[in-house]
Structure 1
Amino acid sequence: MVDPVLTPAPAPASASSPARSSLRQIVLPWFLFALALALAGFLGWRLWQPADAGDPLATSLVAFERQNSLTVFSAELAPVVSSDDSRLFGLVKAKQVAVIPARIDYTVDLAAVDRNRMRWDAATKTLTVRLPPLRLSRPNLDEARAQYLREGMWIGREAQDKLTRENTLMAERLAGQQAANPVLMGLARNAAKDAVRQNLAIPMQVAGFGGVTVTVTIDGESTG
């Protein structure tokens, strides 16, 4: 006698299955949309966020990048020079004394300032910056305001042009020497330090670092 094979009847479908399926159909698209939105937001944040966000040195360098060269001081000088001219075997002599106003600018090459010239002390919130030596511009002579005093029985056009050229070259050279004197250089260095402090303190504060002390030194300055 062959035993009958009993096939188990299929279990009745749960009444909650259609509800769960319907719930998945509703929630899944919104979940995928939220996931895509979050991914897009993350990628956008990574795209627009500065590479060194939160880095005080990077914040300082960004502030410097806005102006590669910073004029920190200008000197108005009035060099007094004189030149002589002799012609016809010394029989005709002439002399010209000139006072030629000159302007010289003192600048800082901010493009030369990199991370190696900066140091950040997080404990004291102090940023130390070492600047390259100041650069002096070529003297800008204002010959329209120059004053001349000429001596000589007779000064021809050729002699006068020669005296003026020589006076101009001498005034330019003398103005450069006067601009490099210790007093003016000291004033220019102090102005450079103040300017750099202002250029860095505000961006650092805006970036969220709070009140930061900025210490500035310059290559070649006396430490005595």
Structure 2
Amino acid sequence: MEDDRVEQPESSRNVIIAGLLGIAAILALYFVGSSLLDRAEKGPDPETIMTTSLEALQAQNRLVPFTARFVSVVTSRQERFAGLLDAERTLILPGTARYEIDMAKIDRGDLDWDEASQTLTITIPDIEIAGPEVDLTAAREYGETGILGAVTDADELLTRANQQGAIEDLRKQAGGAVPLGLAREAARDAVRRNFELPLRAAGIKGARVDARFRSDPQPSTAVLDHSTSYDNALAEAERRRNAKGE
């Protein structure tokens, strides 16, 4: 009998503990379910998706959306001894330029989400041109220095002048309006895809992404002047004449 009296309180405690654990489990399930239901009703959080996409881009360090290959043709000429001796040499030198964006320069403040239009506006740093990297294995040189090259340093001077001129010309080509325009458009498209696809995959089907460069002009907010059409102007003039009794 004494053993029964000792075991009974222990059994009661076990029942109470089990009951409390059951209640705690039910409450935990309730709160988790409520949180999931609330999140499902509100839909995906674009801010979280934007931040994750930005971190993924920043991890790439530098984005190379566009590369272009150029060819420079440069000719140099040397004359000595009052034009009695001359030498000429032409260099054909190809080179490749990379158009890069430093992703580390993009921060959270460059992202602007407009809930009403479901549009994300991203401001990205300007294009940086790397290179051009010359392809010496594909370089071709033509011309003869003749006697002048044999008795002077004309050969070395012509080679140096051609190389310097070709590299300068390649840089000029790389910075031209056409390749820069193509590079900027490729960069916009690459950044746009990196943000638009995750947003749509998360369920924001109507999400749009507008990528713009820091050097782009700010969009105008001025109200457009809607000019009166010719017919409306005539009708307005007729109305005024009738009002004056003419």
**TM-score (normalised: structure 2):** 0.66
- Partner residue in 2 for 1:197: 192
- Partner residue in 1 for 2:75: 82
- Partner residue in 2 for 1:93: 86
- Unpaired runs of 5+ in structure 2? 1-6, 33-44, 220-246
Change (3 A) 1:53 1:213: closer
* One of 65, 69, 84 as aligned partner of 2:62: 69
Summarize deviations over 1:133-157 as a string: whole Å, max 9, x none.
Answer: 1000121111211121214333249
Distance 1:161 1:27 in 2: 98
- Partner residue in 2 for 1:47: none
Q: CA deviation at 1:95?
A: 1.8
Whether contact under 8 Å (2:100, 2:128) holds in the other structure is yes
- Partner residue in 2 for 1:170: 165
Bigger Cα displacement from structure 2, 70-79 vs 56-65 = 56-65
One-letter code of the match for 2:107? D
1:22 and 2:18 correspond: no
Distance 1:30 1:86 in 2: 105
Whether contact under 8 Å (1:131, 1:218) holds in the other structure is yes
Summarize deviations over 1:162-188 as a string: whole Å, max 9, x none.
Answer: 322222221111111111111111111
Whether contact under 8 Å (1:59, 1:204) holds in the other structure is no
- What is the aligned length? 196
Bigger Cα displacement from structure 2, 148-157 vs 76-85 = 148-157
Distance 1:78 1:136 in 2: 16
CA RMSD of aligned residues (A): 3.5
1:112 and 2:105 correspond: yes
1:219 and 2:214 correspond: yes
Q: CA deviation at 1:221?
A: 4.2
One-letter code of the match for 1:95? E
SS in 2 for 1:220: coil
Whether contact under 8 Å (1:60, 1:204) holds in the other structure is no
Distance 2:189 2:17 in 1: 60
Distance 2:214 2:139 in 1: 36
Distance 2:156 2:20 in 1: 87
Percent of matched pairs sharing the same residue: 33
Distance 1:201 1:175 in 2: 35
* One of 102, 122, 136 as aligned partner of 2:115: 122
Q: CA deviation at 1:160?
A: 2.7
SS in 1 for 2:155: helix
Bigger Cα displacement from structure 2, 27-36 vs 199-208 = 27-36
**TM-score (normalised: structure 1):** 0.72
Computing the radius of gyration from Cα coordinates, the structure with the larger value is 1
- Unpaired runs of 5+ in structure 1? 1-17, 43-51
Q: CA deviation at 1:31?
A: 4.4
Q: CA deviation at 1:217?
A: 0.8
Summarize deviations over 1:12-44 as a string: whole Å, max 9, x none.
Answer: xxxxxx8676233244268469969x7xxx9xx
Distance 2:23 2:58 in 1: 39
Q: CA deviation at 1:79?
A: 1.1
* One of 57, 63, 68 as aligned partner of 2:50: 57
